[in-house]
Amino acid sequence: MALRKAQPRIREFALIRTLARRFARHNTQLIRGIGDDAAVLAAPAPGWWHVTTDLLADGIHFDLRTASLESVGYRAAMANLSDIAAMGAVPRYVLISLAIPSEFGTRQVVQLYTGLMQACRPRHVVLIGGDTSASSTGLFVSLTLLGTTKTGRALFRHGARVGDDIYVTGTLGDSLAGLRLLAQMPSTRPVYRMVSPLRASHKKFLINRHLHPTARLAEGQWLNNARQATAAIDLSDGLSGDLRHLCEESRVGAEIDLGMLPISAACRAYAESRRLDAALIALTGGEDYELLFTAAPVKRATIARHARARGFHVTRIGTIRSRLFGIRMNTPDGTLKPIPNMSYEHFR
């Protein structure tokens, strides 16, 4: 029942038909996609379903003054794919809900979906449903992603044991550096135009890492199926915060070697150009969508060998300690300090 009737810029059912035609695909286990009261999926054999959902708000998670609708869609999908990667699961189905501002037409909605499906389609994730609504204010995007594993096989946050090695995939801090570069671009803040002596290729790399992150699905699935990891989480809030979540769920502490954090040449150059501490950017920067995982020390050689063979970038950065030890970091000056809780929370 509409309490407020917006301008008829978009008719809901016509929009859903357009989106279904352009973006929906079928697979053999999808009994019914868009077009009924619910999507219907066959679970042909025993197995585990993994379900994750995210709600993204205009002005909180994205800023349409600096980000394109494609990149908002792409990053929203990738954040959910990363959650599925951290479970070691295979992503299967996505539902997309939008609250759409009155100034949007079909073109804007299609742009957003294009970004979403650029992230989903190469991973064979099928769009099966969602909801569209008017918004009397900004754009809100809600995603639900469903993945599968075999029964009994998943990477949880709670499995880390004292003595386990701590690893991360990829490099850390790139996304934060990229976001800061974007925020200083001429189009939005002309006053910063000449500040950065950073190489164009480094800039491009960092901005791309922010706008087009990559969920580590293959890495997560390998760690899960080959039973290499004891626990895993994806780095969405930043290492300092997400390591804390993993430690809380596993009831353990951790010791990280700050000098071992994997940092890209571009992020180091960015830090130098701004006289910032690259390790601090790596420690606290969010939205890298890399995986943080733990594994028993006996797995060290196997993990190194398989990572090389499969082209996975994996770095050992520390050790799981007892809960009493707390969550600490070895700094380059040789002291052991508590890791500050500087993770991003949406309510701060």
Site for a second copy in 306-335 (CB under 8 A): none
CA distances from residue 106 to 12, 19, 269 in whole angstroms, order as listed: 10, 9, 41
Instruction: State which of residues 9, 204, 313, 316 lies at the interface with a second copy (CB under 8 A).
Output: 9
Closer Cβ to a second copy, 159 or 326, answer by number: 159
Closer Cβ to a second copy, 82 or 228, answer by number: 82
To a second copy, the closest distance from the beta carbon of 197 in angstroms equals: 24
Closer Cβ to a second copy, 167 or 298, answer by number: 167
To a second copy, the closest distance from the beta carbon of 165 in angstroms equals: 20
To a second copy, the closest distance from the beta carbon of 75 in angstroms equals: 10
Closest CA to 234 of 286, 176, 302: 286
Which residues 6+ apart lie within 8 Å of 28 measured at CB? none
To a second copy, the closest distance from the beta carbon of 33 in angstroms equals: 10
Are the C-beta atoms of residues 71 and 175 closer than 8 Å to each other?
no
Which residues inside 140-199 make contact with a second copy, applying CB under 8 A?
140, 142, 144-147, 151, 154, 156-158, 175-176, 179
Placement of tokens 């596993």 in the chain: 250
Query: Judged by CB under 8 A, does residue 209 bind a second copy?
Result: no
The radius of gyration of the chain from alpha carbons, rounded to an integer in Å, stands at 21
**CB count, 10 Å around CB of 50?**
19
To a second copy, the closest distance from the beta carbon of 336 in angstroms equals: 25
Which residues inside 218-277 make contact with a second copy, applying CB under 8 A?
232-234, 249
- Reduce the DSSP state of residue 25 to 3 states and report it: coil
User: In which element (H, E) is residue 24 found?
Assistant: none
Which residues inside 34-73 make contact with a second copy, applying CB under 8 A?
35-63
Query: Judged by CB under 8 A, does residue 87 bind a second copy?
Result: yes
Q: Distance between CA atoms of 330 and 30, rounded to whole angstroms?
A: 50
CA distances from residue 153 to 167, 226, 293 in whole angstroms, order as listed: 20, 10, 15
Q: Distance between CA atoms of 175 and 341, rounded to whole angstroms?
A: 19
Closer Cβ to a second copy, 36 or 272, answer by number: 36
The CB-side HSE value for 230 (13 A sphere, CA atoms) comes to 24
Closer Cβ to a second copy, 249 or 257, answer by number: 249
Stretch that binds a second copy, among 92-100, 164-172, 193-201, 250-258 (CB under 8 A): 92-100
To a second copy, the closest distance from the beta carbon of 262 in angstroms equals: 20
Query: Judged by CB under 8 A, does residue 342 bind a second copy?
Result: no
Which residues inside 273-312 make contact with a second copy, applying CB under 8 A?
286-287
Q: Distance between CA atoms of 348 and 330, rounded to whole angstroms?
A: 28
